[in-house]
């Protein structure tokens, strides 16, 4: 059995990025900049934002975290986003979700310039992904494909089953793996809460992606011998 080690691959990528960014510095072309906007005190989100900043620091990416008070108005938040849309020092903007109830997530996501939408949530980014154009892609689905690539796992014509249909993981990975491209071009099945007998589908999978955040949901008797399983949830 081969273990697909996401942490190991992530470290390799950070080292590769640092080499590329150091070269940009030497050439006087500046460094990539990322700003994260985090509102509230959600513990999981705090850890997530902190880990993003740490990863960027290791790779040599300039980072900044904006932490407005939870009482910030939607208008004020949209104005803050617009200021970074026009800020040439920062090439990526991410707004940590969820947001306070008085702020529309849709309006906030749509306020981010598609050119800086590193989370790949903007409708323009989503549309470009669906039709196969180059665009920012949601980080986790892009990471899944990168794992398949780095472990040289054949995907063309393989039956890939996705558990979950969230806008963050499930739907984007479906659109990524349907593309007629290298390390994609799969036959994709999506299982969600309306599926009556999930094991009926998982037993057919050559590649199984669990993106439902339910610990120990996938049991050994739900998969066939030799299946590739990638666990995305906090399981």
**Which has more confidence, 48 or 169?**
169
Q: Band of the pLDDT at 209, cuts 50, 70, 90?
A: very high
Helix (H, G, I), strand (E, B) or coil at 103: coil
pLDDT averaged over every residue in the chain? 95
Q: Is 96 a catalytic residue?
A: yes
Of 52, 145, 171, 206, catalytic: 52
CA dihedral (151, 166, 105, 113) in degrees, to 10, reads: 40
Q: Is the pLDDT of residue 70 over 80?
A: yes
**Does residue 11 surpass a pLDDT of 80?**
yes
Three-state SS at 47: helix
At 89-110, the pLDDT tens digits run 999 999 999 999 999 999 999 9
Assess whether 134 carries a catalytic annotation: no
pLDDT digits (tens, 9 = 90+) for 149-188: 999 999 999 999 999 999 999 999 999 999 999 999 999 9
What is the dihedral sign for C-alpha 44, 147, 64, 54? Answer: positive
Note the pLDDT of residue 233.
Answer: 67
Ordered domains of the chain (ranges, CATH): 6-24+31-129 (3.40.50.10860), 137-231 (3.40.50.720)
- In whole angstroms, give the CA distance from residue 191 to residue 108: 29
Average pLDDT over residues 11-26: 96
Average pLDDT on 35-45 reads 90
Looking at 116, 117, 119, 206, which residue is catalytic? 119
What pLDDT is stored for residue 234 in this prediction? 62
Please indicate whether residue 119 is annotated as part of the active site. yes
The pLDDT, as a whole number, for residue 235 is 53
List 8, 22, 23, 96, catalytic entry = 96
- Within 8 A by CB and 6+ apart from 135, the residues are 114, 120, 124, 125, 128, 129
pTM: 0.92
């Amino acid at each position: 059995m081969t273990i697909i080690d996401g942490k190991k691959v992530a470290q390799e990528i950070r080292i590769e990025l640092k080499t590329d960014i150091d070269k940009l510095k030497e050439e006087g072309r500046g460094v990539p900049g990322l700003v994260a906007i985090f509102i509230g005190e959600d513990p999981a989100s705090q850890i997530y934002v902190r880990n993003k900043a740490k990863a960027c620091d290791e790779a040599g990416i300039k980072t900044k975290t904006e932490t407005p008070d939870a009482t910030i108005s939607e208008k004020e938040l949209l104005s803050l986003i617009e200021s970074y849309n026009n800020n040439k020092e920062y090439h990526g903007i991410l707004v940590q979700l969820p947001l306070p109830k008085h702020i529309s997530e849709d309006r906030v996501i749509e306020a981010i310039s598609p050119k800086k939408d590193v989370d790949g949530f903007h409708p323009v980014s989503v549309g470009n992904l669906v039709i196969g154009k180059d665009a920012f892609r949601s980080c986790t689905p892009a990471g899944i494909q990168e794992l398949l690539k780095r472990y040289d796992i054949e995907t063309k014509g393989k039956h890939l089953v996705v558990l979950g249909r969230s806008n963050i993981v499930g739907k984007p990975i479906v659109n990524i793996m349907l593309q007629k491209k290298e390390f994609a071009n799969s036959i994709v099945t999506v299982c969600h809460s309306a599926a009556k007998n999930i094991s009926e589908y998982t037993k057919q999978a050559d590649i199984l992606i669990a993106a439902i955040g339910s610990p120990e949901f996938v049991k050994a008797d739900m998969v066939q011998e030799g299946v590739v399983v990638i666990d995305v949830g906090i399981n």
